[in-house]
Copies of this chain bind each other. A is one copy, B any other.
Amino acid sequence: MGTTKTDLFTDAQNQIATIAKALGHPARVAILEYLLKVNECICGDIVNELPLAQPTVSQHLKELKNAGLIKGNVEGTAICYCIDEAAIERLQAYFAGIASKLSEKKKDCC
């Protein structure tokens, strides 16, 4: 118990869930928005932007990276992080698809 039964669902469902889960924490949303605001690779600097301790930020960055939402390369002493467009586009396409299917049908329920 306590473990998500991923084998019972499709790959597509698991992939969406993985990306969504990575954004399921405000610190990780804040990191994404900061990377977007600066709009270029950030080398160092992210830790100072967040009201959390350095190991905690490092852990959140790792989760975003594992989920494919950000990319990062070693750049000397610092690390160069930026948003991975592919993941964002996948999410955007997914929800746009749902929204368009929803608009096709009746709203007179619930």
Contact = CB atoms under 8 A, between A and B. Distances in A.
A71 to B, nearest CB: 4
Copies of this chain, complex-wide, total 2
Interface secondary structure of A, over-half rule: helix
A92 B95 contact: yes
B8 A51 contact: yes
Interface string A72-110: 110000001111010011011001101101111111011
Given A21-B20, A23-B20, A40 B109 contact: yes
Nearest to A82: B110
Given A24-B24, A81-B110, 5 more contacts: A13-B26, A14-B26, A85-B99, A85-B102, A88-B95
